[in-house]
Structure 1
Amino acid sequence: MIERIDVAVFGAGRIGTIHAGNLARHAGARLRYVADVNAAAAHTLAERHGARTSSVEEALVDPAVGAVMICSSTDTHADLILRAAAAGKAIFCEKPVDLEVERARACAAAVRKAGVTCMIGFQRRFDPTFAALKQRLDAGEIGVPEMLVITSRDPAPPPHSYIAQSGGVFKDMLIHDFDIFRWILGGEAVSVHATGGCPGLPDIAAAGDLSHTAVTLRTNTGALCQINTSRRAAYGYDQRFEVLGSHGLLQAGNVRPTQVIAWSEQAISSDKPEAFFLERYRDAYALEIQHFLDALSSGTPVRTTIEDGIKALELAELATQSWREGRALSVEA
């Protein structure tokens, strides 16, 4: 058992700031280094938590560092995983592992060879509402799950510059939904059929991507999943799903800033959903970092492994191919 672990955070942007704050609140961990190509951002974050700025190289050669958190841009993830594994450091990495499946598989092989822990940041599994639904589903409350319907909509599309380097909507946005599909239904996909378009958002179409998608998956147990996504929902960040089972239905709804509902002669109203992912998954981000650090301390496995990251990426790759070819695809065993 490890009494305290020193951690280096790579990436001082939005998600790095969130993870560093949650790490700093954990009694069994200490933020030792922050590394970022933006030196000012790294300095600000390090100073906030009593840490030091460093290069990636300096952090990886320091024997006091037991783990790294990779919160930098997607194109750096695979390289940092490989370097951290070679240095014998435990790894927490934001999704995706990489945009290329073969590169992600190479990372998994390196992690296995090094024998280090590697957790991928699928925070939705740690959302209290989603986790409660999963627990009740596993307890048999609605019998055998037969259909999962996932709704996942962003409040507004990202900038054109982001779209162009994101890897496409299936790898950038739906990768979380593919992970939810595997987690909730507890099986693997045998077929994927994806379609999409850009109604009212020609800039996204010009970038070769989609703003709206509809994906249907079938599992090896015969259960079905439908995923509908949009990069624009005027009413807020829409994150919900429902599971239809042989004996009933379980629903996990949106989170709102408050649960106050106003009743009047004119209407019944409530708050819109939370503004975006940092607010919606505030608790989930804290709980996933707590889980990662607790797992390192106790020597127990993490819940979201690099293999989970690869499985979700494989589905995203197949969905992209299905959309481009306009047909359903079988998933190779």
Structure 2
Amino acid sequence: MKSIMICANGNVLSKYIKILKSFSNLLVIVILLLVSSCQKDESTSNPLNVVSTNISDGATGIDVFSEIMIHFSEELDVSSVNENSFLVKKGQYPVYGKISSVGNKAVFKPSQQLDGEQAYECTITTDVQGINGEVMANDYQWGFTSGEEPDMVAPQIKKSIPVDMEISVFTNIEILVYFDEEVDPETINNNSFIVKTGETVVGGSITYEAKVAKFIPDVEWMYETVYTCMLTSDVKDLAGNALASNFEWQFTTIPEVLSFSALIQPIFKDQDCWTCHNENRDPDLRESMAYNSLVNGNYVDTDSPEDSRIIKQLKGGHAGFITQKEEGLILEWIKRGAKIINKEAMEICKSMI
């Protein structure tokens, strides 16, 4: 009877052992799940960190066309990277730009180039999150100073001597071109500074100094000749910016024979000199009287042109508006014998003597 009970109890025990084993396997699974869950919680609790920036803190001389880039320790939640979490300032003023994020990288592209030689401050706030919700413990800040702004402006020509369409240019004049900035002297040469009469290229020497290019012809300019000058877009400034387009102008040289009626009388007419100098004041510069009044009134000295009364009066602060160029033409006319040339004017002069 005992043996039967033991046997029976043995079966019961065997069942209990099986049940315990079943619970043991279940317990192991539960424990593993808990451990796995704890490990996952532990991993997501790691903070988001900044690994590097393309512009280091305190850097100077940074290109004004630079983008600002930052690398993180984790892939980013794209929606968390925006104008509220990626801030760039110049002093107290915000810098505007396009903000983007790919993987673990965030990029700030300024909407316009940075100002030259200015301090900039960048901030990544704790609003930035990793793709699994990781966050930074504190805002991340760094700064840099931009370099000089590059010269992107093409050089311009302020003026030329002679000016465009100028007439009666003396045959010993040098051509001068004034730039608004320094240009590369190597770009001022016979291929970029061209002077022609018709289709014939005029030979000459070219120099450059202090924003001024100079062309000196090998021989004097020919009388009463039209010359065309051109500076090509091969001319560049020191930053490599070329002239926006070819610059072209013309001038006409003085006639070999100077006519009072063609060159000198128009000066008195343009300046309205006869309003003051008429029959009531010498010299009488009215059109029909001017030549005789000057030549026979001792205002002209062909033997000593510089000592002519009219030249001395003009140099002595005359109240009129005759330019230095016009004064030079009058002096040149005297040097060449103060001739009237024009036949009709000659007849008028003869009738008055």
User: TM-score range, shorter-chain basis?
Assistant: under 0.3
Asked which structure has the greater RCO (Cα within 8 Å, sep 6+), the reply is 1
Q: When the two structures are superposed, what TM-score results if normalisation uses the length of structure 2?
A: 0.24
Q: When the two structures are superposed, what TM-score results if normalisation uses the length of structure 1?
A: 0.25
Q: Which has the higher helix share?
A: 1
